[in-house]
Structure 1
Amino acid sequence: MKYFVAQGEDRNFGISTRSTLRGSYIELFDGVTHYELLGPEAGEIVVLVGGLTVPLFYWDQVVAVLHDAGLRTLTYSSYGRGYSDRIRGTYDDALFIRQINDLIQSLNITEPLHVVGASMGALIAMEYVSQNAVSVSSLTIAGPAGLAKKPLALRLLQSSDSLAGFVAKNFGRKLLAKHESNDLGDRARAAELSAMLQDAYQYEGSLYAVFDTVQHFNLFNRTALYKAVSASYVPSMLIWGKDDLVTPIDNLDEARDLLQPEQSHVLECGHMVPFERSRDVANLIQAFIKIHSMRSTS
């Protein structure tokens, strides 16, 4: 898809712009990444990977609980999201895997990590684990993508760059609004989610980034990846929302069979489990990490 700037994207990034925004920034191979490395300096590090549309702020309530539990967290916005650069190129699997690898290496993090991913971020997390199993202590995935059947409409979009660009530019915001309406089962934080997303959508190239990702990132038919993670013997935990409309819970049994997680939990919520049930998810994560801590608690 050819790069474009959509109507309403009237802001761009620069040193002066980012100096007024929350978080830290680092130049990586493909561009600047927006990240936060926070929490007790002596704590084991938890890396949290967001999904298709969300910035790092998505994890705020989760990380607060993890910090209270003595854990250190690394959150970041994928390219095209939050305050990370909008890439004038292809948003495929290789880009997002390179970003997480580059970020961890550039921050000189060498200790074993606990990795958490949600939705599309679960696939990025799993790919990272499959490539770096020896340096990962545990994996948690919530509402993971990769098992649903590819819709006909998406197959059509992926068949033509010109068609994909036309749809993205002319109908992209309506399609994203529809997607957002399906994200939450409990609408209590819907306004907060919408404000978070709309803030990021003001920056040039945001709509392009999301739709190029949909066109080029492999969101479907990822059974081989689930099997590879299972074969890595990294301890894993699976969390799913009972009323998930985006990655339906119908796929839960298949995910269990493929991943063979040590633990599996179903919560009363929709797709965005870490956002809707932040404290519950954080408590599950910190308890799972405690079991698989690389440090002596004596």
Structure 2
Amino acid sequence: MKYFVAPGEDRKLTADSREALRGSFIELSDGVTHYELTGPGDGDVVLMAGGLTIPLSYWDGLVSELHARGLRTLTYSAYGRGYSDRVPARYDETLFTRQLAELTDRLGLTDGPLHLVGTSMGALVSMTYAAHHRSSVSTLTIVGPAGLAKPRLASPDRLLRSDLLAGVVARRRGLQLLQGHLGHNVRDPELGAKLTEMVLDAFRFEGSLYAVFDTLQHLPLAGRDDLFRRTGALGIPTLLLWGDEDNVTPLVHFDTARALLKPQKDHVINKCGHMAPFERPRDVADQLVPFLSARTQRLDS
């Protein structure tokens, strides 16, 4: 799909516009990435990969919980999300995995234990990263993953295969579709409003809707059973978490994920929607921290 600027995208991401923003920025081979590496300097690093639309601030509640329990965290915004560059490239797993690999390498995190957490679309990116960098991943935590729905004629990557159609839909109805999607992610309306404000603020920057719709074109979010199966065969200690009221990646896929991933531990969080790290950070930390604490060695140690 050809790069475009949608109506309402009235800002540009530049060095000047980033000066007022929190966090750090690093130039990688495809563009600038917004990240935060924070927490106790001697703590194991927990690296978090987010979903289709979310910026790094999505993780703030979980980050606070993990810091209080002695862990260091690396959060970042994928290209096209938050305040990372909107790159004129194909938004697929190759791009997102390369971003993750370059970020950890440039920050000098590839030699120590690395605990990888992926939610929704970020779970697919995390699994792909783990396959390519298996020896550096101490644990893998998958939260409400995309990818287990059966492919349908109405699947986004099928509907949007035509660049012309994808461009028209994105320009004319992209923002409306995005707002509708965000409304299904969390149970609590107050948290839903906070989530929407967080995401839409970043979507005022040029190229944001292009990035999302190009991702929907080129990163399949259904029919990924084989990726789950291959991940389960890697031998990486895995934790599977899911919200019991997830309306985006429904709990009906939980048993399939468990059978394919063969996790060492799995847990369903009660009264929780699709975004467990955002909605229930303490509950996620309660499951995550003991799991990580028992597994602090790299697989090549």
Give the superposition deviation at 1:178: 1.1
1:135 matched to which residue of 2? 136
TM-score if structure 1 supplies the norm length?
0.96
Deviates more, 1:71-80 or 1:226-235: 226-235
Give the superposition deviation at 1:293: 2.1
Superposition map of 1:6-85 within 5 A: 6-85=6-85
1:286 matched to which residue of 2? 289
**3-state SS of the aligned residue for 2:86?**
coil
Residues 41-82 of structure 1: CA distance to partner in whole angstroms, max 9, x if unpaired?
000000000000000000000010100111000000000000
**3-state SS of the aligned residue for 1:146?**
coil
Give the superposition deviation at 1:294: 2.9
Amino acid at match of 2:113: P
C-alpha separation in 2, matches of 1:59 and 1:155: 27
1:119 matched to which residue of 2? 120
Give the superposition deviation at 1:195: 1.0
C-alpha separation in 1, matches of 2:60 and 2:131: 27
Query: Identity across aligned pairs (percent)?
Result: 53
**3-state SS of the aligned residue for 2:248?**
coil
Residues 75-100 of structure 1: CA distance to partner in whole angstroms, max 9, x if unpaired?
00000000000011211111001100
2:230 matched to which residue of 1? 228
Name stretches of at least 5 consecutive residues in structure 1 with no aligned partner.
Answer: none
Amino acid at match of 2:36: E
C-alpha separation in 2, matches of 1:126 and 1:159: 24
Give the superposition deviation at 1:156: 4.3
Asked whether the equivalents of residues 82 and 202 of structure 2 are also in contact (C-alpha less than 8 Å), the reply is: yes
Work out which of the residue numbers 153, 160, 171 in structure 2 matches 1:169. 171
Asked whether the equivalents of residues 186 and 269 of structure 1 are also in contact (C-alpha less than 8 Å), the reply is: no
Deviates more, 1:180-189 or 1:111-120: 180-189
Amino acid at match of 1:213: T
C-alpha separation in 2, matches of 1:159 and 1:231: 32
C-alpha separation in 2, matches of 1:88 and 1:113: 30
Deviates more, 1:73-82 or 1:179-188: 179-188
**2:104 is equivalent to residue 104 of structure 1:** yes
Give the direction of change, closer, same or farther, for the CA distance of 1:247–1:179 in structure 2 (3 Å limit): same
C-alpha separation in 1, matches of 2:91 and 2:134: 24
Give the superposition deviation at 1:155: 4.9
Give the superposition deviation at 1:273: 1.1
Deviates more, 1:267-276 or 1:32-41: 267-276
**3-state SS of the aligned residue for 1:152?**
coil
User: How many pairs does the alignment contain?
Assistant: 295
Give the superposition deviation at 1:284: 1.3
**3-state SS of the aligned residue for 1:138?**
strand
**3-state SS of the aligned residue for 2:37?**
strand
Name stretches of at least 5 consecutive residues in structure 2 with no aligned partner.
Answer: none
Superposition map of 1:164-203 within 5 A: 164-203=166-205
